[in-house]
A and B are shown apart, each in its own frame.
Chain A
Amino acid sequence: MAILDARNVSIRIPTEDGIVHAARDVSFKVEAGELFGIAGESGSGKSVLTQAIMGLLPNADIFGEVLFQGRNLLKLTEKEKRAIRGAQIGMIFQDPLSSLHPYYTIGSQITEMIHTHENVSRADARKRAIDILGRVGIPAPEERFDSYPHQFSGGMRQRVMIAMALVLNPPLIIADEPTTALDVTVQKQIIGLINDMRRERGTTVIMITHDLGLLSSIADDVMVMYAGNRMELGPSRTLFREPAHPYTAGLLNSSPANYTPGSDLVPIKGRPPSLLQPPSGCVFAPRCSNFMDICASRRPPLRIFDDGTQALCWLEGGPATPATVKSQVAAAPETNAGGERERVIVARDVRLSYNTGGLFRSGKKLDVLQGIDLDLFKGETLGLVGESGCGKSTLARVLAGLVPATEGSVTLVGRSIASLNAAEWREMRKRVQLVFQDPFGSLNPRRRVSSIIGDPFRIHNICSGKECKQAVQRLMETVGLNPEHYNRFPAEFSGGQRQRIGIARALALNPDLIIFDEPVSALDVSIQAQVLNLMRSLQKELNLTYLFISHDLSVVRHVCDRIAVMNKGRIVELANAEEVYRSPRDPYTRTLIDASMHPRASGDTAERRLIKTIPGEAA
């Protein structure tokens, strides 16, 4: 029997700008004991859907019905809903730091859960809380019971959240992006923990994530959402092998993890529609590679296949381009042509340390970089990989000359950074450019795109007026932006477009080196692929040298010639990309690769047959 059965759920959220259609006619069934995955990019409505079902969005209007163990959650009184929350359905949220109350001890936050639903003594509650804390892998739970959330690391906090969700042993747990805020190696542990716990206790888990790869290894069934619509639903083994919906196929194709290195990704063009005015036909139609005329005008029908897969699409037999298509392997530039190649960066024994003490106290010395040796050759892309806090971003800034190293030497395009005077330093700014992670943060919200991209020209007095405008428009064209939009503000562009603006700015002065600091981490997969492709084509065209910083090994592997793996301020491994990937020598590298791989459930896919079609307008 299905533990959760959602039928035709629609959600509308009134806002100042209009009504947001966060979900439209979404139905799904979660069987007891399974791990049900809900995947989708930001804005797909996946989180809103579950929160609305739980009654956590008081502003939203919800239609349809959601049966939990036979009772319609949407019809329950507030009191009945409260009895279910926590006791019957546990929740785990994305950011474990902000999701725990900073002023209460973690112990009291867990016992509060127990006292809310059960009439037990304080000592009993404490015992149970300590017990569950131990089970989720908190060392010395007895002592940590009275600790505050800020005294834990991110991974440990998420364990506390899991303990809190599990303590009453609810039959269903909803995990909303439980690992997104965590490092890959920790991610792996948390996913493992959730999986163990559900097997041990027979708990049903609904896992919401933007990371399709994550679901491929653990989910039994997967639902793919897009712009509030359920695009595809089916068993995960067939869904990943043979997606029935073009959107799912597109998502899989955009992910660098599924690709041969050096080849171009096949991104989904365009960007998601506004939820204020969803298109009348298929929501995905404008971006779909299998677009037909009927898609734009009429809501697609629901196709049900014999293997349990369902897709909301006008196509009868799944997308025309198979998901497993591999584009031709581009002739990757020969990377190890020997030492004669020109070096853009030569770094020797670079060290950086901060004093953490205050003005009066002599505090501890914090060694951020502990002896880095690095060469970057002209025309190559060097990937710098590591988890948060390993010093990779700091290293990038040291190499760019923005932060002086405490010890060691950095030579940039033949000049030692330490020896530059102020004017030379300014001149050096033209040779090295940075592209930042957050396309929202790296563009001044109060300035027009023309002045943002034209900033390098202004700062270095290169051109002005009309000449400058033309240069800016040329740059916008180069990175695939409409040059007519030069007068707009950054807020009027989407995330991917903003990252293009950042790249255009970096290109303005024909630099020798561009440093990308997590350039695609804040972007959705389909947009990520667009930006990565742009970077590659620009590099080929303009013979650029890239230093590419990322925490995501699959992205780095896709774009880089060589990879340097960083851990705790050191480079632990540096070799050709494929070499690092295939035969990692350092144990840390192995852990990283291990953690970022998601082995797919194996099994054969039988020929799929369409067994039923429900017209879209009727649903």
Chain B
Amino acid sequence: MSATNTETGFPQAGAVVQRGPLELTLRRLARDRASLAALGFIILLVMFALCAPLIEGATGHSAIEQYRTTGLSEMGLPVVPNSEFVLGTDHLGRDVLVRLAYGARISLLVGVLASLAAALIGLTVGMIAGYVGGATDTVLSRVMDLVMSVPFLLCALALVSVFGPSLGLSVGVIVFFSWTTMGRVIRAEVNSLRKREFVEASRSLGAGPVSIMLRDILPNLSVPIIIYTTMMIPSAIVFEATLSFLGLGIVPPTPSWGGMLADAAANSVYLVAWWLVIFPGTALLLTTLSFNILGDGLRDALDPKARPIRLVKKVRKADKA
């Protein structure tokens, strides 16, 4: 007695084409031009970062070498963008373009690595807290509250002052202070999922807790995991840039966008050399913007409930009266 109407001999009225969830998501995403543009930019950026050695080869400039004769004016000031230095040089006569390319590597590496690590930790802790509940949940939730209410930049300062700046420490600090967002979201999700009837159904069938967590709950978390990991990348990138800007992140002379901006800010060199702030600043802004737009787009595409129904242009009211 399924809904087919073979007996009555005509096709089922209003048979709406059923589409898989993945297809629906991709279709929604494809309609979202902003997200596509963001995705395009991210792909370009990844290629730019990957091609850093090629750019180095093409310009003949190393990222850390100081071209004091060609790269600095007679007064010792940076050179404006020209045919040799396409994006100009910095206060030490280094090529901004090459440094930008190598800086992109750092930003992406830190952003993606830190986000993945934070997502993994957040997921694990959130799932345990949400599923086990009780005292375990209380303790883990308190820990998350604690980490969230710690003045993170100050603590990062304290850590760096003790251990000295390094790439590893930067990633560690970022991970430590950003996993809680994911942890809280997952905890809340799992907590409500665990009370759903399909979990009880599995339990009544004799499924163990690990099986329930992996087979019943985890697939239902894919949406928040994807969205929040994407959203964490731009914050991690900004976090890293901020640390480097304060001189606490990547150790010079290794190029990083935050470090380049810090160099520009030092002694206000950028006031006479706008390219020192425009190029790395724009690169940083566009990167975070792209990831944020993509994250928003993914949320709309994966979880259409969160979005209000777009007002389709009102059909003109045919006045019958």
Contact = CB atoms under 8 A, between A and B. Distances in A.
A455 B202 contact: yes
Interface string B220-245: 10100000000000000000000000
A426 B203 contact: no
A442 B13 contact: no
B201 to A, nearest CB: 5
Contacts of B222: 446
Interface residue tally on A, bucketed by range: 35 or more
Contacts of A65: 320-321
A419 interface: no
Contacts of A357: none
A540 to B, nearest CB: 16
Nearest to A10: B320
A285 B318 CA distance: 29
Given A15-B312, A444-B202, A447-B215, 4 more contacts: A277-B15, A359-B138, A425-B206, A459-B202
Among A277, A402, A446, A447: residue with most chain B CB under 10 A: A446
Interface in B1-44: 1-5, 8, 10, 12-16, 18, 20-21
Interface stretch (B48-56, B258-266, B303-311): B303-311
Contacts, number: 135
A446 B2 contact: no
A113 to B, nearest CB: 28
B315 A456 contact: no
B3 A494 contact: yes
Interface stretch (B97-105, B160-168, B192-200): B192-200
A278 B13 contact: yes
A276 B1 contact: no
A63 interface: yes
14 contacts: A14-B315, A61-B314, A64-B320, A72-B321, A270-B5, A277-B13, A279-B13, A286-B10, A402-B204, A438-B197, A442-B197, A442-B201, A447-B219, A459-B207
Interface string A280-318: 000101100001000010000000000000000000000
A438 B197 CA distance: 8
B317 A63 contact: yes
A106 B308 CA distance: 30
A35 to B, nearest CB: 29
A434 B205 CA distance: 8
Nearest to A13: B309
A497 interface: yes
Contacts of B1: 269, 480, 530, 534
A283 B318 CA distance: 24
Contacts of A442: 197-198, 200-201
A16 B31 CA distance: 12
A489 interface: yes
**4 smallest beta-carbon distances between A and B, as pairs:** A274-B14, A429-B206, A279-B13, A14-B312
B206 A459 contact: yes
A443 B198 contact: yes
Interface of B: 1-5, 8, 10, 12-16, 18, 20-21, 135, 138, 196-198, 200-207, 211, 215-216, 219-220, 222, 304, 309-312, 314-315, 317-318, 320-321
A286 B2 contact: no
A445 B15 contact: no
A444 B317 contact: no
B315 A286 contact: no
A470 interface: no
Contact of A444 (B211, B219, B312): B219
A339 interface: no
A274 B15 CA distance: 7
Contact of A63 (B135, B138, B202, B318): B318
A232 B200 CA distance: 42
A415 interface: no
Given A459-B207, A489-B21, A274 B321 contact: no
A551 interface: no
Contact of B10 (A271, A296, A434, A443): A296
Interface string A364-399: 000000000000000000000000000000000000
B163 to A, nearest CB: 38
Contacts of B14: 273-279
Given A273-B13, A279-B14, A286-B13, A437 B5 contact: no
B315 to A, nearest CB: 5
B12 A286 contact: yes
Contacts of A270: 3, 5
B309 A59 contact: yes
A403 to B, nearest CB: 11
A500 to B, nearest CB: 8
Contacts of A446: 219-220, 222
B3 A497 contact: yes
A63 B310 CA distance: 21
Given A12-B315, A271-B3, A283 B13 contact: yes
Contacts of A426: 206
Contacts of A434: 200-201, 204
Nearest to B4: A482
A300 to B, nearest CB: 14
Nearest to A508: B205
B198 A441 contact: yes
Contacts of B216: 444, 447
A460 B4 CA distance: 34
A8 interface: yes
A541 B200 CA distance: 28
A482 B2 contact: yes
A430 interface: yes
A426 to B, nearest CB: 5
A400 interface: yes
A240 interface: no
Contacts of A482: 2, 4
A546 interface: no
B20 to A, nearest CB: 8
Interface in A86-123: none
A61 B313 CA distance: 11
B304 A433 contact: no
B314 A429 contact: no
A480 B220 contact: no
A84 interface: no
A75 interface: yes
B207 A455 contact: yes
Contacts of B4: 482
A436 interface: yes
A16 B303 CA distance: 13
A492 interface: yes
Among B15, B198, B207: residue with most chain A CB under 10 A: B198
Contacts of B3: 270-271, 494, 497
Interface in A467-498: 480-482, 485, 488-489, 491-492, 494, 497
A359 B138 CA distance: 10
Contacts of A505: 201, 205
Contacts of B215: 447
A63 B320 CA distance: 7
A20 to B, nearest CB: 11
A441 B196 contact: yes
Contacts of A437: 197
A609 B220 CA distance: 58
A273 B13 CA distance: 6
A447 B138 CA distance: 31
Given A14-B315, A437-B197, A444-B198, A459 B205 contact: yes
